[in-house]
Structure 1
Amino acid sequence: MVLQSKQQISSYIIDSQEAEIKRIALELHEGIGQNLYSILTGLQFVESTAEEPHMKNYVREMESLIEKTIQEIRLLSVELHPPALITLGLLPAMKSYIKLYTSTFGILVDIESTGRETAIVERNRIAVFRVCQEALANIAKYADTSHVKINFNWQETVLNIIIQDFGKGFNPEEDEEGSRSLGLAGMKERMLLTGGEARISSKIGVGTSIEISLPLK
């Protein structure tokens, strides 16, 4: 009974966090992003009417800065809450996120999928995506690698995902209270709430492997 109560509390906290993340992502894209676009349009008009060369150059520099900021906000919005995750499903969302990940960190990610992709309820879809996202974030921070391999294996009753980084690896016992261990614990907790599991194994000099399993029925 106590364990069930703790799981219910954890589930409520995670659901609340996801709702807030979705709200922030929407505000970034629809609110701040649109406001910046309006400012950019105004600056473009100012540039077209300015006569002094130094003023034109100054306005053009401001336009460039705002364009860069708009792009960064769009990327952040997608990272927080990918539209593809809701509209297209887990695998397309992961492929879309990997493009963003590679362009940001320069780490190549090979993703393969075997078996027939199965529809996953939204809550579990988000959980698996967040676990994969956390795994990739840890790789960028700690693994010191340029290559990652992700395999989706769709079976009739379970989805198995293996993420391998071929990096420098680590000793879990030496990082029991570190930020990486907190992230790994969060991954395990998310999968536990779906009825699934996340297992982490690592060997120094060889790399780290994360195995995720999600019941589909």
Structure 2
Amino acid sequence: MSQRKSNEKALDSIINEMIETVTNSKDEIFHIGEQSRNELEETVAELQETKRLVKMVIEERDELEVKASLSRKRLSEVSKYFDKYSEEEVHEVYEHTHQIQMKLSVKREQEKQLRDKRDDLELRLRRIEDTLKRAEALGAKISVVLHYLNEDFRDVSEKLEDAREKQAFGLKIIEAQEEERRRLSREIHDGPAQMLANVMLRSELIGRIHQERGPEEALQEIKNVRKMVRSALYEVRRIIYDLRPMALDDLGLIPTLKKYVANIEEYNNTVVYFTSLGSDKRLHSKYEVAFFRLVQEATQNAIKHAEASKIDVKIEINKSNVTIIVRDDGKGFDSTQKTENSFGIIGMKERVEMLSGKIVIDSKLGIGTMVHIEVPINVYE
């Protein structure tokens, strides 16, 4: 009895650590939101200033066009009655017309660059607003998770019988959280962070390029920087999608799985075949999230651990049950032997059991693995 209480206290300690970890994550997201708000304010101010400059340059260009028109008329008159003017007067008219045309050309190029900058700032503003909205939404979800950890999850210790399993389960959750944080940190550092650092470096060179090589090369450098920003944004969106695909809430399970499979093929040297049978109607949110995570875990295991070159994903939705089959041609494993670090498989089994379903994992060394899942559903929930 005392041993059980001791283990329950250990689990409570683990839960407290989890709460602290999630709280720190919430603080980090809040910090990201604050940074986005500051960047939003700076971008709005810069956009307003750029619009003011665009308006001013347009007015100056209009004045130069009027002057250029008058100068061309004067030049036409001098050219027509050439013998009435001295050589000095003719030269002066030609020189004056040339200078106005040069100023007009420079002003037009300046206007074009400012318009491009304005358009880029408007696009950047929309992206920052989108990031801010996502950060706020993610913060709200983490608040829900914190409430769950503080209230409902503390009842787990009363429902589990084996205290050692409870302790191991809690430790595995923390390990999985930390591993996920390390993976995200590596992805952000190696992807968007590196790209944005390069963007900052390249953007600082644009002014120098404009002075030393001219506006055309500076404009080309701006285009290159724009491509790098677009790539960084694509990487950020991919990372956000792995965390929680927004399409799952907006479009439903099947479209989200199709997009997820396409992303897997794009980022891994793996061919993935996806087949959907039966109904394509929306399911209850708890089912859609669970089925997506099950397919995600099974495919990630096939890629990371089995090193599969081909994966078949099949899902069939009927009125009373859902069947999921994920088959790969990877190196497989001996399913009769219990392996360490198999928390992904344990998590899948736990999730299926929570849904009152059944899961069978059939794997053979050198042949591949098949995950077969059947879950009863209530379409009226």
Q: Give the TM interval when normalised to the shorter protein.
A: 0.7 to 0.9
2:251 corresponds to 1:88: yes
Aligned to 1:51, the other structure's residue is in SS state helix
In structure 2, list runs of 5 or more residues that go unmatched: 1-17, 34-127, 136-192
CA contact (8 A) 2:361 2:371 kept: yes
Amino acid paired to 2:210: A
Distance 1:52 1:214, change over 3 A: farther
Task: Please list, as runs of the form range in 1=range in 2, the aligned pairs for 1:29-178 lying within 5 A after superposition.
Answer: 30-31=131-132, 47=206, 50-53=210-213, 56=218, 63-178=226-341
Structure 2 counterpart of 1:206, from 351, 367, 373: 367
CA contact (8 A) 2:335 2:361 kept: no
TM-score where L is the length of structure 1? 0.73
Distance 1:76 1:82, change over 3 A: same
How far is the alpha carbon of 1:115 from its aligned partner?
A: 1.8
Amino acid paired to 2:362: S
Moved more, 43-52 or 81-90: 43-52
The alignment covers a number of residue pairs equal to: 194
Moved more, 192-201 or 43-52: 43-52
Aligned to 1:177, the other structure's residue is in SS state coil
| Structure whose CA Rg is larger | 2
CA distance in 1, matches of 2:303, 2:131: 29
Amino acid paired to 1:155: N
Structure 2 counterpart of 1:194, from 355, 360, 365: 355
CA contact (8 A) 2:321 2:376 kept: yes
Structure number having the greater strand percentage: 1
RMSD: 3.9
Distance 1:206 1:86, change over 3 A: same
Alignment deviations for residues 104-127 of structure 1 (CA, whole Å, 9 cap, x no partner): 002111111222234321122111
How far is the alpha carbon of 1:61 from its aligned partner?
A: 6.0
Aligned to 2:360, the other structure's residue is in SS state strand
Distance 1:175 1:50, change over 3 A: farther
CA distance in 2, matches of 1:208, 1:152: 17
CA distance in 2, matches of 1:216, 1:117: 14
Alignment deviations for residues 87-114 of structure 1 (CA, whole Å, 9 cap, x no partner): 1111111001111111000211111122
